[in-house]
Amino acid sequence: MNRRPNFLYIMTDQHRADWLGCYGHPVVKTPNIDSLANNGTRFDQFFVATPVCMPNRASFVTGRYPSVHGLRYNGCLLPKNANTFIDVLRASGYNTASIGKSHLQPMTDISPVGSTHTNTGPIKEAWKTSTDGYDHEQPGQYETDAHYQFPSPYYGFDHVDMVTGHGDKAGGHYRQWFRQRHANWKELIDPNNELEHNYSCPQAFRTPIPEDSYPTAFIKDRAKEYLENSNASENPFFAFVSFPDPHHPFNPPGKYWDMYNPDDFEVSIHYTDHKNPPPPLQATKDDFDAGVAPPIPQVSIMASDEHIREAMALSAGMITMIDDAVGDIIETLKSTGQYDNTVIIFNSDHGDFLGDYNLLLKGAWPKDAITRVPMIWSDPQDRKARVAKSLASTVDIAPSVLERAGILPYFGMQGQSFLASTQGRPGPRDSLLIEFNDGGKRMGFDPPARVRVLVTDEWHLAIYKGESWGELYDRLNDPKQLNNLWGSPEHAPIKSELMFALSHHLIGQMDESPRSTLLA
């Protein structure tokens, strides 16, 4: 194939790896995404750079870790002077589009909750970069009926159809479109007009918004329109199609609400299964027992088995809704004759506890449920079903896409291309780093948590800044991570070896860019 390939990159939000049929889920139905896996490479050990929306999405577009690219936790900003791999594709002649959730800038104008503030002098920050002009994803830009025009390029994207927020409260271009479709739009998003239901789990909300006016439908339709228009261009395209679901609130619309029965699901890992619960898990249990409500809806919580099964059923509805949209988008690729020259990639920005240890949502305890995500790479050069066992990270996506496009990356990119793994060969990693930086105090941490995790084929090591305890799990013999071996004398040698390896990762977190242009 002589033409440069197109790329269709589909991303979901807060979607753990094992909640797809092709990853072995026994209940949730995802035939269209499964078909991608049947015609491509499914990664079994793909991990995020950090299990939080904004910083991991910034790692996705830059190929760099949060401690280097600067967007460390939700509410921060990806500096405008940051290059992205989309910039590289665009500079090489690609048409570029972001359709759906971007989240490289704050989506709200609300100040962070629970963060630690200190008094400063007349200069507030260590960086001179101003926050002026970082409001393109905030609600105020979409209050009028006129379509909000993004600066071009927006982190490398020439075309932007923006969706901010989640569920029936989503904003951005979607909200402008929604207002135009429904004269009674205020009634449809009024919490007092919730449809009747018998669910009682936290954040379960039965929206009256019809399926064809829900954010998933908007993104699907905009993606199909973009693909249809791309067929007339001589340039290849990179289309990033990003769905805000299955992120909470749990509110699948229409038929997707009662598509699944909570009784069909089970909680496979209970809080009581953990042999020695570490402090963040114990702190969350203590809050649950005391009836302490989380300060904001994004904080991880503990829930009863009944509530978890309800959340599972509603999440499954949202996932199948996305799968249906994916099927329509892929069909558009085929009907326009572009399928045979398009690399299709499916991924998520992070996971959800979704019942593990009786927890819901995500938080400052980076276990596999929130750090391991789906990654499927379906390539027209070789659409064979494979399972890659190689370790890979979000930071590796940028160099992998660029290598497939035949373009060199920029200096300072930290990821390593996993393209060989999509062709049945070993990947480049024997370990990977996961960062977690919290913007507020939660799960018992004060000050906000700073965590670094090392993952190998066999081990999971976690270090918590300022804490005398840590975590060590045997991934082969204890895949559910129920026995913390941190204090085990028998495992002291392997802990020492892993801490040495983690130290090397941390030393490598220096930003290598810009490099000196002077001759030695």
User: pTM of the entire structure?
Assistant: 0.95
Q: What is the pLDDT of residue 421?
A: 97
Burial (CB count within 10 angstroms: exposed 0-12, middle 13-18, buried 19+), residue 241? buried
- Give tens-digit pLDDT for 416-460: 999 999 999 999 999 999 999 998 888 999 999 999 999 999 999
Burial (CB count within 10 angstroms: exposed 0-12, middle 13-18, buried 19+), residue 380? middle
Residue 314 has a CB neighbour count (10 Å cut-off) of 29
Query: Exposure pattern of 318-338 as b/e (b: 16+ CB <10 Å)?
Result: bbbbbbbbbbebbebbeebeb
State how far the alpha carbon of 97 is from the alpha carbons of 6, 9, 30, 150, in Å.
12, 10, 25, 12
Q: Return d(Cα 188, Cα 185) in angstroms, integer.
A: 5
Closest alpha carbon to 409 in 504, 508, 513, 505:
513
Query: What's at 159, amino acid-wise?
Result: H
Q: Return d(Cα 362, Cα 370) in angstroms, integer.
A: 6
- Give tens-digit pLDDT for 372-417: 999 999 999 999 999 999 999 999 999 999 999 999 999 999 999 9
Reading the chain (520 residues) residue by residue, the pLDDT tens digits are 458 999 999 999 999 999 999 999 999 999 999 999 999 999 999 999 999 998 999 999 999 999 998 888 877 888 888 999 999 999 999 999 999 999 887 777 666 555 555 677 887 777 776 666 788 988 999 999 899 998 889 999 999 999 999 998 899 999 999 999 999 999 999 999 999 999 999 999 999 999 999 999 999 999 999 999 998 899 999 999 999 999 999 999 999 999 999 999 999 999 999 999 999 999 999 999 999 988 888 889 999 999 999 999 999 999 999 999 999 999 999 999 999 999 999 999 999 999 999 999 999 999 999 999 999 999 999 999 999 999 999 999 999 999 999 999 999 999 999 999 999 999 999 999 999 999 888 899 999 999 999 999 999 999 999 999 999 999 999 999 999 999 999 999 999 999 999 999 999 999 999 887 765 4
Is residue 514 reached through a cis peptide bond, with omega within 30 degrees of 0 on the bond before it? Answer: yes
Q: Return d(Cα 479, Cα 482) in angstroms, integer.
A: 8
- Give the tokens for residue 269: 């890992």
Domain 6-114+131-425 class, CATH top level: alpha beta
**Domain residue extents for the chain:** 6-114+131-425
